Amino acid sequence: MTTATRMIVALLLAWTLGSGAALAQAEQQVLVDEARKSVERIKADPDYAIVKDLLAKSYGALVFPSLVKVGLIVGGEGGAGVLLRRDFDTGRWGYPAFYDLASGSIGLQAGITEQEVLLIIMTKKGLELAMNDKFTLGVDAKIAVGPLGGGAEAATTTNIDADIYSFSKAEGLFAGVSLEGAVLVPDQDAHKLYYGKAYTARQIVVDEVARNPDADGLRDALVKP
């Protein structure tokens, strides 16, 4: 069952309950659950052995379980994800803030692909920039691309100057993934649906004012060896 199918099933279930609020919150919970599965899959992949070590030293992580890229001369990519902060003293991960990602490009291209993406934030600067209302990868913060799977070498993951490391698993007609120029925007509407109040990303990630135990599985997946 694909990510899109799982979300449709969850939305139909919520609809049968007769609650618009339940419908919307079910969508957010599906995203959190799919983010957990993406983290587990990436950490279990031998091509991504470095991920566990990076997460244990990181300031935070952005997880996008389903970024969809479509191209026909003019290309575009988008999807929803979550940001969590790691406490440097305790190693504990906080609760997720919700983000949307969008990018566009012009050139000779055709095809479609769906990919899981894990962005590991390695600097305090990178985490601070993610708190902005709009955050552009590769412009506001330096991003290094990790291995793409299938035995690809992690040549660029030795770049210690990078604020963020990007790891992706993709299937489709596009080869690889490029997030340079992609824009990240916090989704305050999603925060209200999931936490009951329109908290800002900073309030959730840094101030830790929001809690939802349904996200504990994702938090545990990030810390497990």
Q: Domain map of the chain by residue range?
A: 3-223
Task: Please give the chain's pLDDT, 225 residues, in tens.
Answer: 455 444 443 434 444 444 455 555 689 999 999 999 999 999 998 888 899 999 999 999 999 998 876 544 444 557 899 999 999 889 999 999 999 988 754 444 445 567 889 999 999 999 999 999 888 887 777 777 665 443 333 334 445 578 998 888 776 444 445 677 788 999 999 999 999 999 999 999 999 999 999 999 999 999 988
> pTM for this structure?
0.79
CB within 8 Å of 46: residues ≥ 6 apart: none
In the Cβ-directed half-sphere of 158, how many Cα atoms lie within 13 Å?
3
Helix (H, G, I), strand (E, B) or coil at 17: coil
Cβ atoms 101, 168 nearer than 8 A? no
Residue 20: alpha-carbon gap to chain centroid = 25
d(CA 29, CA 75): 29
Site of tokens 């490391």: 165
